[in-house]
Structure 1
Amino acid sequence: MKSLRIQALLLVLPLLLLSQSCGVYSFSGASIPANMKTITVLFFENSAPLVVPYLSQQFTEALKERIRNQSRLSIVRENGDGIFEGRITDYSIKPVAVGASERAEQTRLSITVSVKFTNTLNNDLSFEQPFTRYRDVRGGNITSQEATLVREITNELTEDVFNRAFANW
């Protein structure tokens, strides 16, 4: 009986110590400061030469969704402890491999987002930088796959932005 209590204590004690720590780490890998409670995500305008009408809304909402799902932060309209703002600066579809018949054998869809993150609690954690992701597709016509590719790239971009802001990657 005593041995069972000791084993239970040894199992519970590390969990108890982890839950009593400073509270800046989470299972998602994020290291959000304990005093950061709110975040503001401003609308990301699309200033790319090739404009996809739904991309600004899709990116902005995807970033909010990632923050909701991977952090304890509350999203507020303005004056958050952290503020994301920026714009979509590039959206391009270009051939990356041309075959013998001078037709594209592989096409690349690329999206670049310029992001400014302001940490109002600790300016040393603020940053401003572009993020680019792309997908290569066999063949020259990607229009049938474009919406799916945009969604996949958007997921990767929001992951990159989230990790840069909260996982110090």
Structure 2
Amino acid sequence: MRSITNSIALLLLFSLTGCGVYSFTGASISPTVKTISIGTFYNNATLGPSNMSVVFTEMIKDYYQQNTSLTLVDENGDLQLDGYIADYTITPVSATASGNNDQADFSSMSRITITVFASYINTQDDEFDFERKFSFFVDYDQNSTDLSSEEQQFSEEIFDQIILDIFNASVANW
């Protein structure tokens, strides 16, 4: 009986270690990868909060540090990530009739869309390298929302999703 238990434990151990390093965040990182360097994501968008570059860069660094065991280094990491905020737009989503012939119809819902260009290099395996754009949006009601007081929060909500998409494309290999 004891040999069966030991055999099952040994089989379980081999099956878990056979797939490399895996975490509950979905990250699948080779055991040879130890470091990551994340450059500043500069703001090339013409609109948006003035601190988007700093906020996005710090948020993405924090996300990788919290969800991987990689050490963040200034440059030449085993994984290298950089890019820029490419676009920030506010567009109307739905129109509302004014109900008055003397007054123009207006947009009641608007959409903030942010696009980030990211470049990812895996120095251990170039099969996973990419350069691509990631985009996400938030809709808000113009009649009940003061954009100037909510814009920072909307940007951070969008950044959360974009960072998750970049993370999944880079170390989760989705």
- TM-score, normalized by length of structure 2? 0.85
2:37 to 36, 40, 54: 40
In structure 2, do the counterparts of structure 1 residues 40 and 108 end up closer, same or farther at CA, with 3 Å as the change threshold? Answer: same
Number of aligned residue pairs: 166
1:154 aligns with 2:159: yes
Q: Distance in 2 between matches of 1:90 and 1:123?
A: 28
Q: For the aligned residues, what is the CA RMSD?
A: 2.2
Q: Is the 8 A contact 1:95 1:106 kept in 2?
A: yes
Once residues 66 and 82 of structure 2 are traced to their aligned partners in structure 1, the CA distance between those partners, rounded to angstroms, is 19
Q: Deviations along 1:24-79, whole A, 9 cap, x unmatched?
A: 21111111111111000000010112142110011111111110111010000011
Q: What is the CA distance between 1:20 and its match in structure 2?
A: 3.9
Quick one: which of 43, 55, 73 aligns to 2:52?
Answer: 55
| 1:137 correspondence with 2:140 | yes
Report the counterpart of residue 128 of structure 1 in structure 2.
131
Maintained 8 Å contact 2:53/2:85:
yes
Question: Alpha carbons of 1:15 and 1:151: their partners in 2 closer, same or farther (altered >3 Å)?
Answer: farther
138-147 vs 121-130, which moves further: 138-147
What secondary structure does 1:136 align onto? strand
Match of 1:98 in 2: 95
In structure 2, distance between residues paired with 1:156 and 1:20: 30
Cα shift at 1:11: 8.9
Secondary structure of 2:54 counterpart: helix
Q: Name the residue aligned to 1:108.
A: 111
Classify 1:144/1:51 alpha carbon distance in 2 versus 1 (closer, same or farther; 3 Å): closer
Report % sequence identity.
37
Indicate if the aligned counterparts of 2:49 and 2:151 stay in contact, CA closer than 8 A.
Answer: no
CA contact (8 A) 1:22 1:34 kept: no
**Could you tell me how far apart the structure 2 residues matched to 1:115 and 1:131 are?**
8
Question: Are the aligned partners of 2:95 and 2:109 in contact in 1 as well (CA < 8 Å)?
Answer: yes
Q: 1:78 aligns with which of 72, 75, 79?
A: 75
The CA distance in 2 between the partners of 1:149 and 1:11, in whole Å, is 50
1:165 aligned residue? 170
**For 1:143, what is the secondary structure of its paired residue?**
helix
2:56 partner letter: F
* Counterpart for residue 101 of structure 2: none
